[in-house]
Amino acid sequence: MAWRQSVITGTGSCIPPWKVANEAFLGRTFFEGQGRPYPVAETGRIIAKFQEITEISERRYVTDDLVASDLAFEAAKEALASAAIDPETLDYLIVAHNFGDVGAVSRQPDQVPTLAARVKARLRIANPFCVAYDLPFGCPGWLQAMIQADYFLRSGDANRALVIGAETLSRVSDPFDRDSLIYADGAGAAVLEAQVHSEAVGIVSHAVRSDTLDHSGLLRMDRSFNPESGGEQLFIKMKGRKLYEYAIAHVPGVVQRSLERAGLTLEQVDKVLIHQANGKMDEAILKRLFKLYGIAEIPERIMPMTISWLGNSSVATVPTLLDLVMKGKLDGHSLASGNHVVFASVGAGMNINALVYRCP
């Protein structure tokens, strides 16, 4: 028996060219949450400790003339070219983000019209039945949009969807907060198509959880740590240690749930593409996942990483990582027919999702 399944047929990404190394922050004064400045002499130690914990040595920022929808548009064009399809044949165009278009000067989020509508217009798609909408879901937004698109495709409601993740976190991070060193900008995209196969390929299963009751405040918006910075602008803030503990405790279980739904074991997984949030945290999540299955030795090169040079670009990290792997741009990493890939992400909400994919 054959049935409709959702297969990735094209990918794209937009990595901003502006490289910002950790050394660029050596002259900056950081503040504690209580508004007290750290001694300038401590800045070098703060940055060194930050790199040790997160593994980030540089990140990418957009130039002043660009906003998130610009990055989304570039990633979309690349994904459509990769899939070699006519944009007019798209049934859905979904953009995952959390802050809209934030300009370099005003820093005010702009979300009307939606970023999806802006990208659709710039792609010159005239088809009125190509439904364009945005999805805010924290860092797991792109993966959640893929899950939604999979439902549309498998139900017969649609045949093709373009799913984009784009963010410019450099515009919403507090320059006086040490955590601002984590954040970066970027966009990634994938074309998902319905295909009929007699065996399970494409998106095989997924699992999602939202822990809002006790954990919704782990990532939030608040004023600058510098009491003299002035203005009413809000910046992204996080309770880093508690977020780390939450992720370690719960992400492995969601991945295990997605594998169980797929009827697979961890030994059958060839790659784990995880949200690039924090290098050490991602490694700890992977170790905890393997521990759930009683496996002591983790296979080499199972988890490709980009955080050391791209930083954390929220919804853009996973689709960008996928694009780089698919196009052979990460040394030692590739995908072949029959490979099983697990995607996973965690972020504001708090939300966690995981998706199992089998390469056709």
Catalytic residues: 139, 275, 312
Residue 265, SS3 per DSSP: coil
Buried (b) or exposed (e) across 169-189, using 16+ Cβ within 10 A? bbbbbbbbbbbbbbbbbbbbb
| CA 103/CA 105 separation, integer angstroms | 6
- State which H helix or E strand residue 323 sits in: helix 317-326
Q: Residue 33 corresponds to which tokens in the numbers above?
A: 């949450």
Quote the crossing angle between the two packed helices 68-83 and 317-326, to the nearest 10°.
30
Answer whether 343's CB lies under 8 Å from 273's CB: yes
Answer whether 236's CB lies under 8 Å from 173's CB: yes
| CA 291/CA 196 separation, integer angstroms | 36
Quote the crossing angle between the two packed helices 141-155 and 317-326, to the nearest 10°.
70
Q: In angstroms, what CA-CA distances link 54 with 202, 239, 318?
A: 32, 15, 17
Answer whether 91's CB lies under 8 Å from 131's CB: yes
Q: Whose CA is closest to 208, among 175, 242, 250?
A: 250
